[in-house]
Structure 1
Amino acid sequence: MTTTGTETIDWRNCQPVELTDILRHSSEAFYEHGFHGTTVRDIAARVGVTVPALYYHHENKEAILVAVLGAAIADLQVRGEAAIADAGDDPVQQMANLVESVTLHLTVRARLAALDSEYRYLSADARMPYAEVRKANELLTRSVIDRGVEAGVFHVDDTAEATRALLGMLQAIPRWYVDSGPLTPADVATRYVGLSLALLGATPRKD
C-alpha cells in the first residue's frame, strides 16, 4: 500500500471496473462479437433503450468503445507506480510488484482487458488518448528494466525489445484466463512474476 499525496493506493486491491449500463452491455457485446461485429442497434437492444436514447449519452459506437477502453485502463498506471514505490530501490522487487499489479488487472478485469486489441479500429483522433496511456505504461515498465540493467540484476541486450516481449506475454493473459478456472488472479500473478523475472535474466532469490 502506497500513499500518494493525500491518497492511499492499495495496488493489490484490484476491483472490477464499475460501468454504466450502456458501457457494461457494450463491453459484453464487443467482447463477444468484436467492434465491427457489434451494431448500435445490438447495444440498444441489450440495454433496453432506443437507438436515439443511446445517442443521447454517446455520440456513436466509436465513442462508446473509447469510453469502455478508458474506464478499463484508467487506474492502471497509478496502481503500477504505487506498486513500484512499495518496492523501494530494488529493481527486482519493483518489477515483481509491477508485474503483479498488471496481472491482477488483466485477470480481475479480463473481459475488459481483452478489448485492448479493439482499439486499433478507432480513428486516429479517437485512438490518441488511449494510445498515450498505453505508451505511458510501456515506458513505466521499461524504466524499471533500465534500472535493473544498470544495477546489474537484469541481463538483456535490448531493453526496448525486452519490454515489448514482457508486455506481449502479459497482454495475452485475458485471452485465456477465465475466473471459473482453477487459477485465481493471485495464482496467475505469482506465475507471471516468475516468468517475467526469468525473461529478464534476474537471479532467483533464495528464501
Structure 2
Amino acid sequence: MFAAGTDSWREYGPSQLPEVLQSALRVFAERGYEGASIRGLAAAAGLSVPGMYHHYRSKQDILVNLMEHALVDLIARCREALASAGPEPAARFDALVECMVRFHMFRRAEAFVASTELRSLEPGNRARCVALRDELQGMVADVIEEGCAAGVFSTPYPADAARAVSTLCVGVATWYREDGPLSPDQVVERQLVLLRNLVGRR
C-alpha cells in the first residue's frame, strides 16, 4: 500500500504484499485460480500445507485477500490523484487516467488477477470485490459527468465512455511489458491522447 502524500500515487516501489501472497500471486498469474492447488501454493511459498493453512483458511481466502489488496491500493491512489489535480474536470480526468494506467503497468500481476479472477470468487467475496470495483468505476463516471456538465467533454454517452475508459486502462495490464518499446511515461501519454478523444475533450 502506498503512503499518501503529494504525487505519491505516481510512485511504485517493491510490492508490499506479504510473502505468502506474493508467491500465490505468481501462481495465480501463471496458472489461473482453477489451475492452482493449495499444495502448489504452499510449495511456492516454501511452506507445508498445514503451514499455509496457518496463514489463510483456504485457496479462496488467499484469492480474495489478493484482490482486495489490489483494489484498495488502486482506489487510494486514485483518490490521491484526484485530490492533487484540483477542481478542473480536464485535469481531474487526466490525473485519474494516468493513475489507473500506471497502476496497471507497475502492479500488472495484481491488476491482471483482480480483473480475470472475479469469476472465481464465492458470492460473498464477489460482492465485496464488486463493491470496490463499483467505487472505482464511480470515480471515472463522476469525472466524465463533471466534464460534460462544464462543457469540457462533448461525448453524448458519458456512461458508455466511462466504461470504455476503465476497460482500456485495465487492458494495459494484458499487453504492457517492462522491456517493451515504450517507456511508462510514453504509455501514459499515448493513453491520454486516446482517452481524451474518447470523451470528446474540447
SS in 2 for 1:99: helix
Alpha-carbon distance in structure 2 between the residues aligned to 1:14 and 1:196: 23
Q: Equivalents in 2 of 1:140, 1:81: separation in Å?
A: 9
8 Å CA contact 2:100, 2:170 repeated in 1: no
Judge conservation of contact 1:17–1:71 (CA < 8 Å) in 2: no
After TM superposition, the score normalised by the length of structure 1 is 0.90
Distance 2:5 2:83 in 1: 12
Question: Do structure 1's residue 138 and structure 2's residue 137 form an aligned pair?
Answer: yes
Indicate if the aligned counterparts of 2:42 and 2:48 stay in contact, CA closer than 8 A: yes
Gapped regions of structure 2 (runs ≥ 5): none
The 8 Å contact of residues 162 and 200 in structure 1, kept in 2 or not, is answered as yes
Equivalent position of 1:124 in the other structure: 123
The CA deviation at 1:52 is: 1.1
Amino acid at match of 1:85: A
Gaps of 5+ in 1: 1-6
Shifted more, 48-57 versus 12-21: the winner is 12-21
Distance in 1 (alpha carbons) for counterparts of 2:126 and 2:32? 16
Partner of 2:13: 15
Matches within 5 A, 1:1-207: 8-9=5-6, 10-116=8-114, 117-203=116-202
Aligned mates of 1:72, 1:195 — CA distance in 2: 25
Shift in Å at residue 22 of structure 1?
1.2
C-alpha offsets along residues 139-168 of structure 1, whole Å, 9 cap, x if unaligned?
A: 001100000000111111222111111111
Amino acid at match of 1:77: I
Distance 1:157 1:16 in 2: 41
Q: Tell me the equivalent position of 1:4.
A: none
Considering only aligned residues, what root-mean-square deviation do their CA atoms show, in Å?
A: 1.5
- Normalising by structure 2, we get a TM-score of 0.92
